[in-house]
Structure 1
């Protein structure tokens, strides 16, 4: 157990569970995670290993005896008949039989229909009338000679849902955790190991939870396959419903005109549309029109009277092309069906979550730590839906009043949702608010910028905010920084003035060409040599999760012509850190003339607990440089006071680095060795870092 796990168990005893236990008990039971965690919460909500072991066996026994496998439905039916009554775990739905004026239930896996259920139970759990709900039920069998009467009867039925939730206790206990600890607790609660994610990647994962905590929130996530886009909506909460994008109808989603029965939006907090993308797909025009009205006004009308609901919509789907292709040839919504590739529909989306930034899910990304029982957290988030936190950032920052009303509403709702998730009891600092506000603005900007490509009648928006100092702070999207040559293109082929990495943290940007990739000496694919690049002094900040960055781009031009380079970094201790130095030297070898000699000297600090491995790595670099024209040497700083990281050249350039050469996120380990990220820096995601270029002589 980690220190965070100890803290979680100390403050939330009884409401957390070790997340790897789900795999231990699931077996071949095809049930959502929240069903399994409900059972684990009854028997394994502790950190005592003996109690956990006993609880796991109890839960396995319950699933073995009471979960109904379709292949064993006949056996379970026979057991109910012979015993007269039996407890089952199954997905149950209910419909009204108008001929008998009675409610009848259907047990999905058990395969029985027309099961008598009393009106009081249906009234207490109206979702049963809309779709299947996972329940624990006592089913009776009483045969009757009257074939109009079903022999199946429900004695008791309980939807799988946690009973006791102390909302105020949850809020107050939040204050015992730092912001980083709380974010990590939420990450573990949805099943992920926080150490496998950077800060921005964690926030993107948590954005998937906003529809559960914010009413009438519309979010879309498009990206590559295998990134877990639909996992949250299918496994996380009993208040969300995941449906296939091609299987929805107006009666099922909104209201059935023939009987007046309201659809999914009236009973669920979140309705998620899986596999929503696909240009070959078609959608009913009436459905699209009603959806657009509902997304804009929280109302829908079928017949005479308008109806209201508060369900949030989440749209998830796979992209057909990578980001630069979409930006150059189409737009970031190009994978949507034609009926939804519509400016009026897209304008009603509050946020676009960039799925291409989310890693493909791998086994090592899952946590074995403690997190909230998901049903407990789902009830907390549902309670917070009634509150509005959108005004809380106003004490620090102002979003200009001239911002379009839909843009402003979208930013406010995303901001409110993030604050509810991370700061349910307040206490956020100015820096923390700014981090979330930039993400909220960026998420809406991604929508609006693509709208300008799709429909030229939309007005261009200036996405920025103003601090208490009155300074305007511009917001850009990550793909805008990464592909400025494509981002601002319009369908006509015209381009706006490209703005690259020009945010509040970079009042001057002499290194802007780094983002454009225009300072190499290798001809482009078109055969046209790139424009000459002259290194300049200045400061540049790089956003987390960006790709396309390499040592050659951010260091190469400033090292050209040098005969001696000194790297000062106290943290060249582990293998991956030494590998970074080796890749820096590889860059120098590629850039220099074969006949030139270049001395590279590293000053680092000894790793007292691992000094032998450290020496072997550094000596290995020295040996590898033999006969390359690079004379590599290294030494330990013996003062013990070295903290700064920089690279200096005998040509007068000094590059100050907050992370040193350790700018890349870990790449996925592939057993077969075929990983582009391992071989090419441009295909790795970066950490957030800055470089300051100083001319010292």
Structure 2
């Protein structure tokens, strides 16, 4: 593997001379100078882009000297201005922005750290480096000082020489021709090294996750969520790698700051940056009430309305944050968007606009061995390549070989196509890819959008039941389905027989969400008491359980003559398996649990009881029938016990849901007991 790494270094230096840098050098200097990574790596690319150790050391020392002598720190601006005046000439490193002053017909420049404004700029530099006009670039500038008191409004600072230390322009032909010299695997490794990671230390799937972090930078209006443990570098790419991305820390923001300021009539962050990243989603908080609504509008259409105007922008939105509990636990008890703030957490329409959910828990916590000491692209070169590629789209690449399955709606299709386009632009910028290579990207794209849809199903119910994502091969007409790893296994309802007295029930909890509950009943010697635990202060649940016990004692002979109540105590414990608050729909299930425990006979395996009853044994109608059935299937149920009044509701259930479960109908409470115990 070491030999292969060296070969890759040689190829990079051969085909991208001056565009690559050894990544450990960046870290070495970065610790001593608070300069953006993309500026630092550009300098290293100029003076240390070689594989000769002596030359590298010489180059590193030169870069250190340049930074210590010429880099302008904002707090030292006045000292540097004085030095320019006293010496008559001095070279500085600063970010410079140019605008045309049409009244004077001159170009005027502004220095970011030095604080100079209105410094004349010759049109030759503007023509040569057009990025000076579009957001500015970091440069090495030789400044002269000459004060002429006879000239009105004279600016004594004069630019005598300017050399960009960012990519002043981008030669895309160089990228396309260079890409031809690398295999797919080599190119992916080059990209991974360019963000500072060592691909030989990472699993293949982790490499794809790291590549996906770059998609918002290469694809317009791309909405990405990544939640996972701390220390996996979720925000690093957006903070350090690209000068075209901004990280909004702390979460507190306003509509004016993010979208449009009505008083100054200026577009906010989405109009100035390629990617806006929200660090720590749990803290996202709009001061304006309509903030989330405007964000939803923008994420769906790339435009937003403020006052009478509609504005368009191309910035991608990225949401990163921490998951503090295990994913297995979240999948079973809640949904994977749970870390979001209350204003968004149960807003299905907001999450439906997310194009990809990156499973951050699959990326290992960074260790020193994960950082590369090999060559990769200079950060600014990679950033400019991605920015230029935003003007292109490969969203239609799948149409040549595949159809998307019928479970994908319009939003799903847009999300999948955008992911495919972004990844193809990263891995195959020259536009040369095979059917198998498109298929590989398509499968990965479908998985991330399905992860979004699986959570939407939990938040929004049957509206989002279409999660069986697939694609169809145009040539063979074969349909391939895509699964989501964390959805498999670990079901709430285990396969196999339960103990006597144990019964699962589905119902709407006190939080208004539908959930699964487990009742555990046990019979011991006693005097006819019904003792309940796990109920707490929930009055409605307690009354429903009491209804079941009263019905049980009044109708005991109809169930079995062998059951005794007066010489036994009945102990019951209830478990809220998804943490959504207890339900009051427990009476039928508890009647079955009491009978099962008393007869020492287990209920049918993988069965969930649905329905409730009154003291007199009247069975209630089941509301939201299809949604409850969906929750049962997701929990791992194979059979559901239903009131016979629900037969007519079967037509509201999608056929692909019905085939996964066996409905068993009961006409009255005693019939429910017999059916649950499998007695004909």
Note closer, same or farther for the CA distance 1:472–1:25 as it changes in structure 2 (3 Å cut): same
Note closer, same or farther for the CA distance 1:229–1:183 as it changes in structure 2 (3 Å cut): same
Is it true that 1:465 corresponds to 2:487 in the alignment? no
Corresponding position of 1:207: 212
Measured after TM superposition, the shift of residue 427 of structure 1 is 3.9
The structure whose residues are more often helix, as a share, is 2
Corresponding position of 2:279: 274
Note closer, same or farther for the CA distance 1:163–1:489 as it changes in structure 2 (3 Å cut): farther
Corresponding position of 2:527: none
Which of 4, 9, 24 is residue 5 of structure 1 equivalent to? 9
Provide the TM-score with structure 1 as the length reference: 0.63
Note closer, same or farther for the CA distance 1:96–1:405 as it changes in structure 2 (3 Å cut): same
Instruction: Deviation per CA, 1:391-423: give whole Å up to 9, x if none.
Output: 223333321255210000000000111111112
Q: SS of 2:342's equivalent?
A: coil
Unmatched 5+ stretches in structure 2: 495-505, 518-602, 606-680
Alignment of 1:544-559 (within 5 A): none
Which of 47, 63, 67 is residue 67 of structure 2 equivalent to? 63
Corresponding position of 1:53: 57
Alignment of 1:40-189 (within 5 A): 40-69=44-73, 72-73=76-77, 75-90=79-94, 109-110=113-114, 112=115, 134-138=138-142, 153=157, 155=159, 160-163=165-168, 165-189=170-194
Measured after TM superposition, the shift of residue 366 of structure 1 is 0.8
Which of 433, 442, 448 is residue 447 of structure 2 equivalent to? 442
CA distance in 2: counterparts of 1:250 and 1:128, whole angstroms: 28
CA distance in 1: counterparts of 2:293 and 2:153, whole angstroms: 43
Measured after TM superposition, the shift of residue 9 of structure 1 is 2.0
Note closer, same or farther for the CA distance 1:27–1:140 as it changes in structure 2 (3 Å cut): farther
> In 2, are the aligned partners of 1:29 and 1:69 still within 8 Å (CA)?
no
Measured after TM superposition, the shift of residue 70 of structure 1 is 5.2
CA distance in 1: counterparts of 2:106 and 2:87, whole angstroms: 26
Corresponding position of 2:532: none
Alignment of 1:273-672 (within 5 A): 273-278=278-283, 281=285, 283-341=287-345, 342-401=347-406, 403-456=408-461, 458-461=463-466, 462-467=468-473, 468-481=475-488, 483-485=490-492, 491-493=513-515
Q: SS of 1:285's equivalent?
A: coil
Instruction: Deviation per CA, 1:130-187: give whole Å up to 9, x if none.
Output: 98964544556678999x9897857377764213533123223322222111111111
CA distance in 2: counterparts of 1:3 and 1:393, whole angstroms: 33
CA distance in 2: counterparts of 1:68 and 1:10, whole angstroms: 34
CA distance in 1: counterparts of 2:403 and 2:21, whole angstroms: 40
Larger C-alpha radius of gyration, 1 or 2? 2
Q: SS of 1:387's equivalent?
A: coil
Instruction: Deviation per CA, 1:276-330: give whole Å up to 9, x if none.
Output: 3338x55533332222111111112222221212111112122232212322332
Measured after TM superposition, the shift of residue 206 of structure 1 is 0.3
Q: SS of 2:515's equivalent?
A: coil
Instruction: Deviation per CA, 1:359-395: give whole Å up to 9, x if none.
Output: 1112111111111122222222222212221222333
Please, what is the CA RMSD of the aligned residues? 3.9
Instruction: Deviation per CA, 1:63-106: give whole Å up to 9, x if none.
Output: 11111345655543432342244333345679999xx9999987
CA distance in 1: counterparts of 2:314 and 2:58, whole angstroms: 42
Q: SS of 1:2's equivalent?
A: helix
> In 2, are the aligned partners of 1:241 and 1:268 still within 8 Å (CA)?
yes
Unmatched 5+ stretches in structure 1: 496-530, 534-697
CA distance in 1: counterparts of 2:75 and 2:431, whole angstroms: 51
Q: Which moved more, 1:83-92 or 1:200-209?
A: 83-92
Measured after TM superposition, the shift of residue 437 of structure 1 is 1.3
> In 2, are the aligned partners of 1:226 and 1:360 still within 8 Å (CA)?
yes
Note closer, same or farther for the CA distance 1:65–1:131 as it changes in structure 2 (3 Å cut): same
Measured after TM superposition, the shift of residue 250 of structure 1 is 2.4
CA distance in 2: counterparts of 1:2 and 1:129, whole angstroms: 40
Alignment of 1:255-266 (within 5 A): 255-266=260-271
> In 1, are the aligned partners of 2:110 and 2:119 still within 8 Å (CA)?
no
> In 2, are the aligned partners of 1:40 and 1:59 still within 8 Å (CA)?
yes
Corresponding position of 1:225: 230
CA distance in 2: counterparts of 1:59 and 1:201, whole angstroms: 34
Q: SS of 1:258's equivalent?
A: coil
CA distance in 2: counterparts of 1:407 and 1:84, whole angstroms: 62
CA distance in 1: counterparts of 2:507 and 2:283, whole angstroms: 24
Q: SS of 2:253's equivalent?
A: coil
Provide the TM-score with structure 2 as the length reference: 0.65
Note closer, same or farther for the CA distance 1:481–1:96 as it changes in structure 2 (3 Å cut): farther
CA distance in 2: counterparts of 1:154 and 1:453, whole angstroms: 64
CA distance in 1: counterparts of 2:229 and 2:507, whole angstroms: 23
> In 2, are the aligned partners of 1:326 and 1:332 still within 8 Å (CA)?
yes
Q: SS of 2:429's equivalent?
A: coil
Note closer, same or farther for the CA distance 1:157–1:176 as it changes in structure 2 (3 Å cut): closer
Instruction: Deviation per CA, 1:548-601: give whole Å up to 9, x if none.
Output: xxxxxxxxxxxxxxxxxxxxxxxxxxxxxxxxxxxxxxxxxxxxxxxxxxxxxx
Note closer, same or farther for the CA distance 1:14–1:143 as it changes in structure 2 (3 Å cut): closer
CA distance in 2: counterparts of 1:117 and 1:263, whole angstroms: 28
Note closer, same or farther for the CA distance 1:109–1:425 as it changes in structure 2 (3 Å cut): closer
Measured after TM superposition, the shift of residue 27 of structure 1 is 4.3
Note closer, same or farther for the CA distance 1:104–1:177 as it changes in structure 2 (3 Å cut): closer
Q: SS of 1:29's equivalent?
A: coil
Q: SS of 2:188's equivalent?
A: helix
Alignment of 1:678-693 (within 5 A): none
